[in-house]
A and B are shown apart, each in its own frame.
Chain A
Amino acid sequence: MSLASAPPKTAGPALKVVYKSSTKPTWCPGCGDYGVVASVERALSSLQVPPHEVVVVGGIGCSSNLPHFLSSYGFHGLHGRAMPVAEGVKLANHGLHVIVTGGDGDGWGIGLGHALHAMRRNLDLTYIVMDNEIYGLTTGQASPTSTMGQKTKSTPQGVIEEPVNPISLSLAAGATYVARGFSGDPKQLSDLIAGGIKHRGFALIDVFSPCVTYNPLNTFDFFRQRLYKLDSAGHDPSDLVKAHAKALEWGDRIPTGLFYRVERPTYEELEPALKPGPLVHQKAGLQGKDKVLDEFV
């Protein structure tokens, strides 16, 4: 049985790992998500993680199809519910690398509650949100991150709600690795993803991943004109207060990179039932434990 059980993230001999699936992505030509799946492949290869020790969980939406385009294990679940599936996978076998992928509608809309709770639990998960500020698969409605005033099919007069701020929310919810990438910069993005996978605890990587079909506002050019890198600007990712301040920057200059990182015990480390090792390898059943019946006498 070659089931993954060793603690993850141990360096092994260099091996050629192929993450590309035989299934070709079905995204529109020019979609930002191509850059994300390439960055995930690159990050996993750089970490030398064998594909069978990785589970990628997606929800529903264009970007949530991502697990199909990798050769690892995958679970393509329900809209907004990728996170709890991933939590179950991780708790059942914490020897696996579990990556959650989805979009802004899936994660910051219908699945927001799950995301925030997963963050405060600090499960060792890597959450990659492909944020295109629009609902693409349903053909162009406003998303929770759509810009105030933006006209979409569901808001022909313009959006009249403030967008959520994924970075601020994640910092407040207790994520221990909070980053933002851009699918137009795969080098930085794959480093951020690799950093998130290596990080022991909950890692969020919110990715600007433009929708070339339904969002004429937040285009590759829009971001290229505005993005700057936090590390080049001397940001200290151990400073939570500064991270919060940076999260609020929007407008002409928008930061990317690592906002915040801290080491905290993970949920798996604190869960007593996991002390003997991954659940999936533990003995199950109550044979020989008849003494437990005495409590009912």
Chain B
Amino acid sequence: MKDISLRVGGAAGDGIASVGESFCRIFSRNGFYVFGHNGYQSVIRGGHVWFQARASPERIWSQGDGCDLLYALDRQTVDVHAPALRQGGIIVFDPEKFQVPPEKVPAGVRAFPVPTLELARKFSPQSILQNAVGMGACAFLAGVPFATLENVLGDQFRKKKDVLEQNLGAAKLGYEHAQAHGAASDKAMPMKGGAPKLLLTGNQAIALGAASAGLKFLAQYPMTPATSVMHWLAAHATQFDIVVKQAEDELAAINMAIGASYAGVRAMTATSGGGFSLMVEGLGLAGMTETPLVVVEAQRSGPSTGLPTKTEQGDLNMMLGASQGDFPRVILAPGGAAEAFRSTVRAFELAEEFQTPVLLASDLYLSEDLHAVDREELPLDHVPASLFAVPDPPSGSNGYKRYLLTPSGVSPRAIPGQKGLNFIASSDEHDEAGHLISDIYAGIPMFVEVRRKMMEKRMRKLGGILRTTEPPKLEGPANAEVTLVGWGSTALPVRDAMAILSSRGVAVNYLHVRQPFPLHAEAIAQVLRLAKRTLLVEQNYTGQLGRLIRAETGIDLPHKLLHYDGEPLYPWQVVGKVLEVTGRVAS
């Protein structure tokens, strides 16, 4: 695959992510597909952080394998990342800061000194301008015309004219230095000038999807990697008239969202596994009171505080079983930013149609990394339906039953403020009118029957959800040596791995389970029964989706690639496992 990857590394506070994002934007603006991975730690200053910006004229989904340019702001970056450099790779470093010993330079790679600090000092005594110099040098090495870099920096600093001038000047010196002293990378990618791609994080796609679906109320407590959902919506709150409430904790966040939804607006909360643990009781409350609710669960490495800045898909079991008792729920697990946008819109539709909570399962990798999508993939044409399902009854009518028993299990919903439809939503078991049957009626035969009927009414919704949602589709060729099976963000490295395998003549396809619950068990069983071989790919220790599939279909997936080290899954890891499973390489 034709691609180029720039990796930049240094300490937190060095502006690493900013350099990486600018590189992503240089390419996405010029019609390239891009992926930006931010490898960071739970520190604000110091430590080691790195960013990989990968670009290709073809569709790419992940950070890819290895890099071609390594801009090292410190010696540790060379130690950690030089082994990732591919043939023809270049290490950009400032000899004033450190030297790169020859033994650290892999074969086929060159170390290219750039006096970033010295050149930066021509504009400002502040060392931060070294990044502009470094970017200028890297831009040349990547084959980027200076005007293109100028364009991106111009936007980045458009509000600070003097800062912009300094940055442009410094970048130009870096660019000219590289031009005078070094040859561009073999991977240099000529700018093709296609329609600009949109560059956004998974969380931005989710926030945008929510706003498009008609979100009016977000309650959230900050927790990595869900926090930026709140950041984007807060930044656009006055523009779109959305109430963004930072709650005192996750217990409050989910209960506020439930209250707002009960009162008739589309409401959402977002968190990670730890916060979701606190929301568990609230999830059941939404199920019992039949209140539509969307909960974003952006997973990170657990258990407990785990690795707050590292990724994992370890919360599927929790999402499946969260809260006491049985109630209908939906779990959607998009793979990619455009899918996250669509799934969020769908989450609101399902929550409303079935009056029950919908979980949108993301993870740090999907939520925080940068994805490039085509503008057409984010259509903002969704028209939110009216929530006032029940018309005002004629005056004097007193027969409204909020929890009317219906064949679908869904009852007509009234909104507080509607005259004559007053009802009570109760966390206790209740009858059709909402009156509780938990105290003086509990255990009385007539109300034993009511309990049974209410339980069945709620659970009937699952059938409707299965009928109105699409079963997972096989991606890739129908005829394949191996059928990969996964969910959520695993799709990203898997799709890139499929392209690599295809170029090597190995036909694989991928069953992307975008809706882990309710699971389209029959459709999945059909695919798995026809598969020559299967390989379960998940980013957790126990193969949680695999267990679910076995429970629902009786089919075991014996070959597994389970990844739980906190780092994103790399395409080469999938490729390696496929070659092993097909007997091409020894295990």
Contacts and interface: CB of A to CB of B under 8 A. Distances in A.
B128 to A, nearest CB: 24
Contact of A1 (B216, B392, B427): B392
A57 B262 CA distance: 11
Contacts of B168: none
A20 interface: no
A86 B252 CA distance: 10
Contacts of A67: 424
Interface string A23-59: 1001000000000000000000000001111010100
A55 B263 CA distance: 9
Interface in A56-73: 57, 60, 65, 67-68, 71-73
Contact of B236 (A23, A117, A284, A292): A292
Interface residues on B, range: 35 or more
A282 B199 CA distance: 30
A115 to B, nearest CB: 10
Given A88-B217, A93-B416, A26 B439 contact: yes
Interface residues on A, range: 35 or more
Contacts, number: 225
A237 interface: no
B327 to A, nearest CB: 14
Contacts of B244: 273
A84 B256 contact: yes
B511 to A, nearest CB: 30
Contacts of B243: 91-92, 271, 273-274, 279
Contacts of A282: 216, 241
A113 interface: yes
A88 B418 CA distance: 18
Contacts of A95: 417
Given A26-B439, A280-B415, A285-B382, A76 B256 contact: no
B215 A117 contact: no
A276 B238 CA distance: 10
Given A113-B249, A279-B243, A88 B426 contact: no
Interface stretch (A2-10, A159-167, A184-192, A241-249): A2-10
B428 A76 contact: yes
Contacts of B198: 293, 296-297
Nearest to B259: A88
A78 interface: yes
B424 A73 contact: yes
B574 to A, nearest CB: 29
Contact of B255 (A88, A280, A283): A88
A52 B416 contact: yes
Nearest to B291: A75
Given A75-B289, A93-B416, A88 B216 contact: no
B165 to A, nearest CB: 23
B251 interface: yes
A272 interface: yes
Contacts of A86: 259
Interface in B366-420: 375, 378, 380-384, 388, 392, 415-420
Interface stretch (B86-94, B206-214, B223-231, B484-492): B206-214
A151 B266 CA distance: 48
B383 A91 contact: no
A129 B411 CA distance: 33
Given A78-B282, A84-B252, A92-B267, A284 B416 contact: no
Q: Which 8 A-B pairs have the closest CB atoms?
A: A88-B259, A284-B214, A74-B424, A84-B255, A92-B263, A85-B259, A88-B260, A4-B417
20 contacts: A1-B392, A2-B418, A52-B422, A71-B422, A76-B436, A81-B282, A83-B255, A85-B259, A88-B259, A89-B259, A91-B243, A92-B261, A92-B265, A95-B417, A273-B242, A284-B265, A285-B382, A292-B239, A293-B378, A296-B199
